[in-house]
Amino acid sequence: MRTLIILMLLAVLVMAATCYVSVYSEQPLAFSDPFINRRRANGFIPADRRLEAISQERIRERNKAPHERQREICEDYYPCELYAFRHGYAAAYRHYFGRRRTE
């Protein structure tokens, strides 16, 4: 009697283990179709954001606004920078570099 109960419990466990339906059993196997389309591939492999950020920074460096270029020029020249602290960068640039235009 004890052996019959143990065999029956063992049969139930084997049946439960082999008949269990999971999410993975409903999906096709990976080796049956190894290629996926681009939209699904982009969903779980993100693009490298660092390269995109670096290229955007390079574009911004090439296309600086005129006042930003003037401010950088003024920051490189110490007397202009000191003047800018008191009167602003636009006035400091005009004061030190505004008369240097060659025509």
- Locate the domains of the chain by residue range: 65-102
Return the pLDDT at 26: 58
Provide the pLDDT confidence category of residue 86 given band limits of 50, 70 and 90: very high
Q: Which of 91, 64, 95, 89 is nearest to 74 (CA)?
A: 89
Longest dimension (CA), the chain: 113
Provide the pLDDT confidence category of residue 103 given band limits of 50, 70 and 90: very low
Return the pLDDT at 41: 66
Mean pLDDT, to the nearest integer, of 4-25? 79
- What's the CA gap between 80 and 98, in Å, rounded? 12
- Better-predicted residue by pLDDT, 84 or 65: 84
> What is the number of other CB atoms lying within 10 angstroms of the CB of residue 89?
20
Write down the pTM of the prediction: 0.39
> What is the number of other CB atoms lying within 10 angstroms of the CB of residue 13?
10
